[in-house]
Amino acid sequence: MSSVGATAAAPALGVARFKRPATLTVYRWELRKLVSQKRTYLGLGLATILPLIFVVVQNLRTRQDRGGENIFASQITHSGLATPVLMLLFLSVFMLPLIASLVAGDIVAAEDGNGTLKTILTRSVDRGQLFAAKAFAAMTYATIAVFASAAVGTAAGVASWGFNSVTTYSGTVVSASEGLLLVFASNACYLIPLLAVASIGVLLSTVTRNSAAAVVGTVGVTILLFIISQIPGLEGIRPYLLTEQYENWHGLLRTPTDWAPIAHSAWVCALYGVPALIAGYLVLLRRDVAGG
Amino acid sequence: MTDAAPPVRARGLVKRYKEVLAVDHVDLNVRTGDVYGFLGPNGAGKTTTLRMALGLIAPTEGVVELFGRDPMREGARALEGVAGFVEAPRFYPYLSARKNLELLAALDGSGAKERIGEVLEIVELTPRAAHRVGGYSHGMRQRLGIAAALLRRPRLLILDEPATGLDPAGMRDMRSLIRRLADEAITVLLSSHQLPEVQELCDRVAIVDRGRVVYEGALADLRRQGGAGYRLHTTDDVRALEVAREQPGIQFAALGEHGLSFQAQESDVGALSLALGAARVAILSLTPELATLEDLFFRLTENNGDGEPAHALAAPVASDERLVEAP
C-alpha cells in the first residue's frame, strides 16, 4: 500500500446507496461457502462410500443365504433396488443424522469462531436473513447427503444385481420403475425427521457458538432420544420421539400405501424442528456479537 | 437516511456486563466531514462503543444513531452508507481475498461486485487476490479490511485501531489512505490509542477513560484550552516557583532541568510576571509551549487511584465542544 496515499490517479470512491440483498442471495453464498469447506466433503463422502462398501462386500460374499427379518435383505441379489432401501434402513438411525449435524452444528458457530459473524452483520444483511439462509443451507446439505447416498446405493445395486422388480413389505411385487419411485419417495419422507435434526443442530450451533459442541450435542440429542425409546415403561411417549420417526417411510413400501406414519411424523417432527428454529432465530437476533 | 442527520450521534450510551460497566453514559457527536478520533487507553470502552454503533451489541441504556438511524431498531438499514471494522477485520480463511470480497459484495448489492478490482488496487492486494486469506499477514488482512469497507462506498467509515500491528511503513500508508478518504468527503470515525496518528489525522476527538468520555470536541480547542504551557527561566527559579504557586490561574507549576514549567491563560501569565517583579525575581526567558495531544491524553486519562483524572484541563470547553470532567 506504499503508494496508496500518494496515488493521485486512484479511482473515485463516491457514495453508493445499497439495496438490501435478497435472502436467496445470502442462501446462495452460504452454499458457496459450504462448497469451499473440506468438512462438507467429509460428510458427503461418508454418505456415499457406505453404500459402495455394502455392495462390494455383498458381491464378495459366497454364502447365498441373505435372508433374515427384513424382506429387502432377502432380495439383495434379485434387485438392485433393494440396496438403497437397506442402506436407508442402516444409515437412517445414526449415520445420516451425524452427517446432517456436521454442517448444521457448524454453520453458525463457525462464523463465531472465525469472527466473520461481525463481518457479515456490518454489511447490508439482517440477522433474520442470515439465520434463514444458514438454516436452509444446513437443510439443503442434509437433503443432498440423503439423496447422494440413495443415488450411489441405487446405481451400485442396479449395476451389480440389475434393475428388476422388487417386493414390498406387504408382499406386493412392484415394477422396477415403480420401485425406483418408491426409493426416491422413501428418502424424501426420511428427510422429515432429518430436517428436524438439522434444525436442532442449527439451534445448538447458534447457542453454543462452538462447532464441536454443537455437532456432538446434536448427535447426543438423537442418541438420548433413542435410548429413551428403548426404556421399558416409556412406551407411551415412544410415538412422539424424534428418533421413532426415522422409519416413517416404511408406510410407502406397503400396499396400499400407509400414509399415517408419514402424517404423524410430519407434525411430531414439526414439534421438534419449528421451536428449535424459532429459538435459534431469537438467540441470534438478541446476540451480542463480540469477540473475534 | 436523513441527509441532515449527523453521521454518528450517541446519547447516554451505557453497556454493562454484569458487574462491569464497560461504557458509562457516552455521548458522541461525529459531524459530516469529520476525521474524528476516538481515543482511550486499552479497555477504556472504545471497541464496545463502536460495536454498539454498528449494531453488533445492544446498549444497556442510551441510543446511538448513524445518519439518524438506530441500528438496534432498523438493523442493516441503519448501516446504509456506513462501513468499517471493529477490532481486526475477519474473513473466511479458506477463501481467497477476491472470493471474500465477492461474498461481501453480494451481501451489499448495488454494483459492489464491479468495484472489487478497484478496491483491491487501492490497497495494493491485486497480486495476492487469488491467494487464500488464511495465509495473509496481519497487515494484509488490515488492508483487506479497508478494501471490504470501501466496497460499500461509505459516507461514514468506522475504523477500530486500523494501524495496529502494521510496520512503520504500513502505518504511514494507512494514515495516507485515511487522509485521502477524508479528502473524498468520507467522514471517518477512527478509534486509536496511537496518539501521533490521531494528532496527524483528526480534527475532532473524544477521549474516553474507563467507559466515560472525559473530553469531546475539536482537537485544536483541546490543545488550546488544555492550557498553553509556558517555560520560565528566572534569576531565582525556586523563588519563582513559590510565587507561581501562589498566583491564581497558574497550574501544574513545576521546577525542571530547564527552569520552571506551568500552564496558564495568557492574562494570568501577565499577572505572574508582575508578581515576579514585585518579588524581585527577574525573568530571563518566558517561552510559550503548546501542549501535545500526548500531554493532554495522559492528563485526562491517568488517574490518582480514586477514579478521578489526575489533572483537570485549564478550562472547560463550551457547548458540545465541552470538557466533560469526571464527576
Q: Is A23 exposed, middle or buried (0-12, 13-18, 19+ CB in 10 A)?
A: middle
Q: Which of A2, A19, A116 is facing B109, going by the closest CB pair?
A: A19
DSSP β-bridge partners for residue B66: B8, B69
> Which amino acid, B95?
L
Those residues with Cβ within 8 angstroms of residue B320's Cβ, 6 or more apart along the chain or in another chain = B29, B216, B217
Give per-residue pLDDT as tens, A180-231: 999 999 999 999 999 999 999 999 999 999 999 999 999 999 999 999 999 9
Of all residues in chain A, the one with the smallest CA distance to B118 is: A11
Cell of A37: 469447506
Q: Is B137 on the interface with A (CB under 8 A)?
A: no
Give per-residue pLDDT as tens, B109-135: 777 888 999 999 988 899 999 999 999
Distances (CA, A) of A95 to A54, A197, A218, B287: 14, 12, 12, 82
- Sole residue written with cell 441503519: B78
DSSP β-bridge partners for residue B256: B259
Distance (Å) from the alpha carbon of B266 to chain A's nearest alpha carbon: 39
* pLDDT band, residue B311 (cuts 50/70/90): very low
Distance (Å) from the alpha carbon of A26 to chain B's nearest alpha carbon: 7
Give the architecture-level CATH label for domain B228-290: 2-Layer Sandwich (3.30)
Kindly tell me if the per-residue pLDDT of B305 is higher than 60: no
Q: pTM to 2 decimals?
A: 0.83
Give per-residue pLDDT as tens, A5-27: 333 333 444 455 556 788 999 99
B66: alpha, beta or left? (left if phi > 0; alpha if psi -120 to 50): beta
Q: Is A286 on the interface with B (CB under 8 A)?
A: yes
What is the total residue count of chain A?
Answer: 292
Q: Which of B1, B91, B155 is facing A119, going by the closest CB pair?
A: B91
A211-230 and A176-208 are packed helices; what angle lies between their axes, rounded to 10 degrees? 120
Of all residues in chain B, the one with the smallest CA distance to A9 is: B122
Q: Is B107 on the interface with A (CB under 8 A)?
A: yes
Residue B60 Cα to chain centre, angstroms = 23
Give per-residue pLDDT as tens, A138-154: 999 999 999 999 999 99
Kindly tell me if the per-residue pLDDT of B312 is higher than 50: no
Of all residues in chain A, the one with the smallest CA distance to B75 is: A126
Taking all residues of chain B, what is their mean pLDDT, rounded to a whole number? 84
Residue limits of CATH 3.30.70.100 in chain B: 228-290
Superfamily for domain range B8-218: P-loop containing nucleotide triphosphate hydrolases (3.40.50.300)
Give per-residue pLDDT as tens, A229-258: 999 999 999 999 999 999 999 999 998 899
Of all residues in chain A, the one with the smallest CA distance to B60 is: A288
Among A119, A121, A286, A289, pick the best mutation site for testing chain B contact (most B Cβ within 10 A).
A119
In whole angstroms, give the CA distance from residue B163 to residue B175: 8
Q: Is A60 on the interface with B (CB under 8 A)?
A: no
In whole angstroms, give the CA distance from residue A2 to residue B122: 10
Phi and psi torsions of A149, nearest 5°: -60, -45
Q: Which of A10, A29, A118 is facing B103, going by the closest CB pair?
A: A29
Q: Do A292 and B87 touch (CB under 8 A)?
A: yes
**What is the structure's pLDDT at A127?**
94
* pLDDT band, residue B291 (cuts 50/70/90): low
Give per-residue pLDDT as tens, B58-86: 999 999 999 999 999 998 889 989 999 99
Q: Is B154 on the interface with A (CB under 8 A)?
A: yes
Task: Let me know: does B250 contact B270? Beta carbons within 8 Å.
Answer: no
Residue B154 Cα to chain centre, angstroms = 19
Q: Is A11 on the interface with B (CB under 8 A)?
A: yes
**What is the structure's pLDDT at A68?**
60
Q: Is B104 on the interface with A (CB under 8 A)?
A: yes
Nearest to B4 by CA among B24, B22, B31: B31
Q: Is B14 on the interface with A (CB under 8 A)?
A: no
Phi and psi torsions of B323, nearest 5°: -90, 125
Cell of B300: 485526562
Task: Let me know: does A275 contact A197? Beta carbons within 8 Å.
Answer: no
Task: Let me know: does A97 contact A220? Beta carbons within 8 Å.
Answer: no
Those residues with Cβ within 8 angstroms of residue B257's Cβ, 6 or more apart along the chain or in another chain = none
Of all residues in chain B, the one with the smallest CA distance to A112 is: B90
Give per-residue pLDDT as tens, B131-187: 999 999 988 999 899 999 999 889 999 999 888 878 888 888 888 888 888 888 899
In whole angstroms, give the CA distance from residue A143 to residue A195: 8
**What is the structure's pLDDT at B181?**
86
What's the mean pLDDT in B9-30? 92
